[in-house]
Structure 1
Amino acid sequence: MLGERLQSVRKRRGLSQRELAARSGVALSLVRKVEQGERNSVRVETLRKWAEALGVTTTTLLEADGASQPESSHPDDLAPLREALQTGATDLEDVPTADGLRSAVAGAVRLYHDGQYAELTAVLPVLVKEAQTLVEQGGPDALAIRARVLQLVGSLATQTRVFDVAEIALEGAVTDAIETGDRIEAASAVITLCWLLLRERRLDEARVRAVDWADEIEPRMSRASNMELSAWGWLLLRGSAAAIRDNRPDEADEMMRLALSGAVRLGREHGSYHEYFTTFGPATVQMKRVENAIIESQPERALQLAREVSPGLRPTSDNRNRHLLDVANARVMLREYDKALDIMTQLTREAPEWLPNQHYAKDLLTTIIGRRRTLTAEMRALADAIGLEP
């Protein structure tokens, strides 16, 4: 159990519970509750603080039974997709064409980036069946198209925390993409798979996969295409995200530095809603630097970096939304609760389907509410909008 693991490492370091709490900045009461078995899971950010104080990697603490993989929420929400993945191709009255399916996938990608999850959930089972039928027919681009469809399924399932569906889809996407011989297509699927691994707290696996693939496709800067730089850069960002959470700050900084070199080479955000590949460029890297600063509990630095994100360089909306939550978190850390609430209220208007799927948002609002004696109408409305349980 997590508590036993934490206690074992703490004792080996010769620290009392009080000393660990002081070094990590985590409440003594939480240390005690975890070690006594009253809490069997905590946020990765908390584990990282303990790992830093103890001089170990976060993975060392995540090896505890039940601590490494948070439970999926609403596991039956994607039941039609799970069934489509498991049943294979079916007889269709209208046989799909490669061009028609590509167009449909482009539209589905737009739904994903716009946060239209309910509509996307209805569309994807049909796309999965059509892609599987196309593969059975042996079309020349069938595997590449199915890889894109499966990657989109994996993205939706990861976003909505239905992890079993996400893993089936993304492992399939990687396999299909590798079989096409297109390394960049395969790297795209791996980037999404690493995101899933991060959400499942499989930090070491995410870091190793990202680094291995970044090494595999490392471009020559003088000749690299925009897509090659984007793929390489995103692999490095995933690796950096895993490393910073695993208390490997030097590795995280080095990967972020390399990603920035690729972004500078691009000079702008590259990508569009009509490609699955999410955008990559200077603004995206800068936003991920903000995220790393939040993980390291450096709110002032996070806000400074956030001010340096150019408003003229637009990332995809889902990456921007996550960035805004990081900025809100910085405000919470500085006890600027009204400013944090303003950001989250903005997100309820701009991303009403995206926000309720973010445990991050729920955690932030729970913290804010816990600091107030009474709730304002704005707080109650926000709690309802993100599905915060009473």
Structure 2
Amino acid sequence: MSANIGERLRDVRKRRGMSQRELAIQSGLSLSLIRKLEQGERSDTRLETARRLASALRVPTTTLMAESREETAKQVVVDQWEPVRRALVGSPPSGELEEPTLQGVTTALRDVMPLFRGDRFAELGAILPPLLRDAEVLAGLHPDGRAVRVKLMQLTGWLLTQTRQFDAAEMALERALDESADRLQGASTVNTQCWLLLRRGRLAEARELATEWADETEPRLSKATPEELSAWGGLLLRVSAASVRDNRPGEAEHAMRLAKAAAVAMGREYAPREDSLRTFGPVTVALKRAENAMIIDRPDKVLQLATEVPADKLRPTSNNRHRHLLDVSDAYARTRRYAEAIEVLQGIRNSSPQWLSNQSYARDILGRVVSKRRTLTPEMRTLADAVNLPM
């Protein structure tokens, strides 16, 4: 048996809300054995013993054994997006079906936008495959069909990045960039590409790409349109995010100052026409300042900056608002204010459960809180299931 069985046994028992004594009674094993396993005094046990423990805990025996818990958790997500990946790489449907119309596909695309804004990933997983196939056919039939396909590829790339389907996201975003009609549309796609690179840990590439496009899109502040300010400022925030993660504090702060100048020139939160899932303005910059503080392990500064964020002016974009709330929860956890950390996570779950379930950051935060507790409250156990915290 794996040397990790004691750790896993303790984690699952806590998730089930059982004491060691209760587990001993329900499994028919000795309390002494369970204590020795959990404390690491014994690193192995017979398979039959593991089966009895698993039966009492209502989990498969393999949950207590040596398989990678993280990979098991990821597999659930991977399977959900298989139809979308097939639609991205597959051939258009045969001529037996009616040909899609520009009005029909455009209307369908407009109708799915609330699903993107509301983080309704399960519904998007079902709707996107036929919509992607229709957009592919339409692009070959109508002069404006390619513009519709670009927009859909941008959205799909954003969604797949959000749900950690990185290879498929890269494919969708590359296609969107190749067919972009102008510089601003291209900048919108590059912004998401930089986010994808950040999530993959490719910091230098993200910084260089964001810097290149920020230089190309820099406007004259006195004459810049909201679209131009949003594109430039959003790319500067990517430069700052990549730099702070790559231990380049000077570059991170310089990019943040420029982004703040763009936000001040904007004067408000703005959602560009070409990128309605992202906002830019003074509030967004404030959120990203707090994010940078969390990256450099300044939870005290995160909590201080959080009090300065005008919550009533936040637009409903999960990737800004909820990402910031994860930083706040993490700051509470790191300062041992565990009840407040759980309260923030619970609030995110109530607002956007499907978004939360795709955040490895949330699993990390909750995992740290859980590891400090001998027993879990019902709220903690519910959250653990919601964020797919491995047992």
- Please state which band the TM-score falls in when normalised by the shorter chain: 0.7 to 0.9
CA distance in 1, matches of 2:274, 2:173: 20
Partner of 1:289: 289
Partner of 2:379: 378
- Once the two structures are superposed, the pairs formed by residues 20-169 of structure 1 within 5 Å of their partners are 74-91=77-94, 93-137=97-141, 139-169=142-172
Q: CA deviation at 1:322?
A: 0.8
- Once the two structures are superposed, the pairs formed by residues 326-341 of structure 1 within 5 Å of their partners are 326-341=327-342
- Once the two structures are superposed, the pairs formed by residues 345-356 of structure 1 within 5 Å of their partners are 345-356=346-357
Letter of the 1:117 partner, please give it: F
CA distance in 1, matches of 2:107, 2:301: 43
Matched, 1:253 2:253: yes
Offset from partner CA, 1:246-280 (integer Å, 9 cap, x none) = 00111011111111111111111111799535111
- Once the two structures are superposed, the pairs formed by residues 289-308 of structure 1 within 5 Å of their partners are 289-308=289-308
Partner of 1:208: 208
Letter of the 1:124 partner, please give it: L
Q: CA deviation at 1:185?
A: 0.5
CA contact (8 A) 2:117 2:277 kept: no
What stretches of structure 2 of length at least 5 have no aligned partner? 1-72
Offset from partner CA, 1:87-138 (integer Å, 9 cap, x none) = 243346343333432332233232112110011111111221121112111x
CA distance in 2, matches of 1:378, 1:319: 25
CA distance in 2, matches of 1:246, 1:297: 14
Q: CA deviation at 1:143?
A: 2.3
CA distance in 2, matches of 1:385, 1:256: 34
Matched, 1:237 2:240: no
Partner of 2:364: 363
Partner of 1:196: 196
CA contact (8 A) 1:98 1:142 kept: yes
CA distance in 2, matches of 1:362, 1:132: 37
CA contact (8 A) 1:237 1:288 kept: yes
CA distance in 2, matches of 1:317, 1:203: 23
Letter of the 2:300 partner, please give it: E
Rate the CA distance shift 1:263–1:79 in 2: closer, same or farther, 3 A: same
Q: Secondary structure at the match of 2:311?
A: coil
CA distance in 2, matches of 1:272, 1:313: 17
Partner of 2:41: none
What is the TM-score with the length of structure 1 in the denominator?
0.77
CA contact (8 A) 1:188 1:277 kept: no
Offset from partner CA, 1:290-330 (integer Å, 9 cap, x none) = 00000011111111111111123223133211110011111
CA distance in 2, matches of 1:218, 1:96: 39
Offset from partner CA, 1:1-50 (integer Å, 9 cap, x none) = xxxxxxxxxxxxxxxxxxxxxxxxxxxxxxxxxxxxxxxxxxxxxxxxxx
Letter of the 2:106 partner, please give it: R
Aligned length: 316
Rate the CA distance shift 1:157–1:284 in 2: closer, same or farther, 3 A: same
Q: CA deviation at 1:346?
A: 0.8
Rate the CA distance shift 1:226–1:274 in 2: closer, same or farther, 3 A: closer
CA distance in 1, matches of 2:189, 2:261: 22
CA distance in 1, matches of 2:273, 2:356: 20
Q: Secondary structure at the match of 1:354?
A: helix
CA distance in 2, matches of 1:335, 1:163: 34
Partner of 1:321: 322
CA contact (8 A) 2:83 2:129 kept: yes
Q: Please tell me whether Structure 1 or Structure 2 has the larger radius of gyration of its CA atoms.
A: 2
Offset from partner CA, 1:61-86 (integer Å, 9 cap, x none) = xxxxxxxxxx9754332111111111
Match of 2:175 among 172, 175, 185: 172
Q: Secondary structure at the match of 2:310?
A: coil
Q: CA deviation at 1:378?
A: 1.5
CA distance in 2, matches of 1:72, 1:214: 34
Letter of the 1:118 partner, please give it: A
Partner of 2:345: 344
